[in-house]
């Protein structure tokens, strides 16, 4: 790991100030991606601004009919939250299947979405649960947040402070995990809202995306069979050593069908 300067602010304001005053600083949330990346010397921030002491980024609460999850909430905290389990159990289950227990004890929702790994689980949930990403500057709709491969709408120094989810009538998430990393080869989040069904897929392409053909089919008939009947093109999907694009396309249909059955 290259040398860096370590900062431990205790307020949001100080954290943001530090980020703007450093040459090439990076926020440090749970560190489950950033620290291993730095160990490989694939990242070389001049400064690390550790968010662990910033109380304003913590907490899970209901707010204006939405569920607000503070950016520093760990996957373990989301998985164990009685409020999340009551309002959207699919989200608690998703959080409880990220990585492994020690990773869930450190990794955070804010860190995960800011990193925008194409195979991370949370992005599918944000898209299907019509989430808003709250930053220190503004509110960003999930649809506008994920912009590509490891890319988000966040400006330099902009910090995710919370995510606010719309409560669905029914929802479920199903994934085919990579057996080594537990990242999603393909993960499908299905959520039925008053204004229609949302289906979001992660792991299959450069970034999580909604699948309108599934949404239309499930709006017409919310059944596993309807999901299974939707054709999926493999054009544009990821092919790598873990799975071919054709296999990922196949898995999208399977996971969508299972998610609907689990609703």
Partner 1 sequence: MATDQSASITFRVNGKDVEGHAEPRTLLVDFLRDTLRLTGTHIGCDTSQCGACVVHLDGIAVKSCSVLAVQAAGREVHTIEGLADADGSLHPMQEAFRQHHGLQCGFCTPGMVMTAIELAQSAEPLTPERVREGLEGNICRCTGYHNIVQAVLAGATAMRQ
Q: Which residues bind partner 1 (CB under 8 A)?
A: 1-8, 31-32, 35-36, 38-39, 47-48, 50, 52, 76, 99-103, 105-106, 180-182
> Among residues 51 and 251, whose Cβ is nearest to partner 1?
51
Question: What is the per-residue DSSP string for 54-123?
Answer: -GGG--EEEETTEEEEETT-BHHHHHH-HHHHHH-HHHHHHHTTSS-HHHHTT-BHHHHHHHT-TT-SHH
Cα–Cα separations (whole angstroms), residue 176 to 3, 59, 218 = 38, 30, 21
**Nearest approach, Cβ of 44 to partner 1 (angstroms)?**
11
**Nearest approach, Cβ of 98 to partner 1 (angstroms)?**
11
**Nearest approach, Cβ of 222 to partner 1 (angstroms)?**
30
Q: Which residue has the tokens 């602010």?
A: 9
> Among residues 103 and 153, whose Cβ is nearest to partner 1?
103
**Nearest approach, Cβ of 160 to partner 1 (angstroms)?**
20
**Nearest approach, Cβ of 104 to partner 1 (angstroms)?**
9
**Nearest approach, Cβ of 16 to partner 1 (angstroms)?**
15
> Among residues 106 and 193, whose Cβ is nearest to partner 1?
106
> Among residues 34 and 190, whose Cβ is nearest to partner 1?
34
Sign of the CA dihedral with 180 first, then 211, 90, and 117 last: positive
C-alpha to C-alpha distance for 144 and 56, rounded to whole angstroms: 24
> Among residues 48 and 84, whose Cβ is nearest to partner 1?
48
CA angle, 137 then 140 then 141, to 5°: 165
> Among residues 76 and 256, whose Cβ is nearest to partner 1?
76
C-alpha to C-alpha distance for 30 and 28, rounded to whole angstroms: 7
State the CB neighbour count (10 A cutoff) for residue 97.
19
Q: Which residues contact 29 (CB under 8 A, 6 or more apart)?
A: 51, 52, 71, 72, 107, 108, 110, 111, 114
Tell me if 188 sits within 8 A of 255, measured CB to CB.
yes
> Among residues 29 and 125, whose Cβ is nearest to partner 1?
29
State the CB neighbour count (10 A cutoff) for residue 5.
13
Counting every residue written for the chain, the total comes to 263
**Nearest approach, Cβ of 7 to partner 1 (angstroms)?**
5
């Amino acid at each position: 790991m290259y040398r860096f300067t370590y900062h431990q602010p205790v307020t949001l304001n100080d954290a943001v100030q530090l980020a703007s005053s450093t040459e090439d600083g990076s926020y440090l949330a749970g560190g489950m991606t950033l620290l291993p990346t730095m160990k490989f010397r694939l990242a070389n921030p001049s400064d690390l601004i550790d968010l662990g002491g910033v109380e304003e980024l913590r907490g899970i609460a209901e707010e204006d009919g939405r569920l607000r999850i503070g950016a520093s909430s760990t996957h373990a905290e989301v998985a164990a939250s009685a409020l999340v389990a009551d309002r959207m159990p699919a989200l608690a289950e998703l959080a409880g299947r990220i990585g492994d227990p020690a990773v869930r004890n450190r990794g955070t929702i804010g860190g995960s979405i800011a990193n925008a790994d194409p195979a991370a689980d949370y992005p599918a949930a944000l898209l299907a649960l019509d989430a808003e990403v709250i930053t220190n500057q503004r509110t960003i709709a999930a649809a506008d947040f994920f912009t590509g491969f490891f890319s988000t709408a966040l400006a330099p120094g902009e910090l995710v402070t919370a995510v606010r989810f719309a409560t669905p009538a029914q929802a479920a998430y199903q994934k085919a995990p990579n057996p080594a990393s537990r990242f999603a080869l393909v993960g499908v989040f299905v959520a039925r809202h008053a204004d229609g069904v949302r289906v979001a897929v992660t792991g299959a392409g450069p970034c999580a995306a909604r699948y309108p053909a599934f949404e239309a089919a499930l709006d017409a008939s919310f059944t596993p069979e309807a999901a299974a009947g939707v054709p999926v093109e493999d054009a544009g999907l990821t092919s790598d050593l873990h799975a071919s694009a054709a296999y990922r396309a196949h898995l999208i249909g399977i996971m969508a069908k299972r998610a609907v059955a689990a609703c």
